[in-house]
Amino acid sequence: MGREHESDSDDTDETATVQMHYDWTTIEPSMAIVETIAAVAACRPTDVNPLFEVTDPDAIDALVTPARKVLDGDVSVSFRFDAHEVTVRGDGTVSVSSNTAESETTGSDS
Give residue 71's pLDDT.
Answer: 55
Q: Per the domain annotation, does 71 fall within a domain?
A: yes
28 falls within a domain? yes
Q: Domain residues for 18?
A: 4-99
Nearest to 96 by CA among 88, 104, 85: 85
User: What's the predicted TM-score (pTM) here?
Assistant: 0.75
Q: What is the pLDDT of residues 11-25, one digit of tens each?
A: 445 677 899 999 988
Classify residue 107: in a domain, yes or no: no
Is residue 52 included in any domain, yes or no?
yes
Domain assignment present for 54:
yes
pLDDT tens digit sequence for 34-92: 999 999 888 999 999 999 999 999 999 988 887 555 555 578 899 999 889 999 998 89
| H or E element at residue 61 | helix 57-64
Q: Give how many domains the chain has, as a whole number.
A: 1
Helix H or strand E segment including 62: helix 57-64
pLDDT at 72: 55
- Provide the sign of the torsion angle of the four alpha carbons 65, 59, 105, 28, taken in this order: negative
Determine, yes or no, domain membership for 75. yes
What does DSSP assign to residue 66? G
CA distance 58 to 70: 15
* 19 found inside a domain: yes
Please check whether residue 104 is in contact with residue 83, taking contact to mean a CB–CB distance below 8 angstroms.
yes
> Is 108 part of any domain?
no
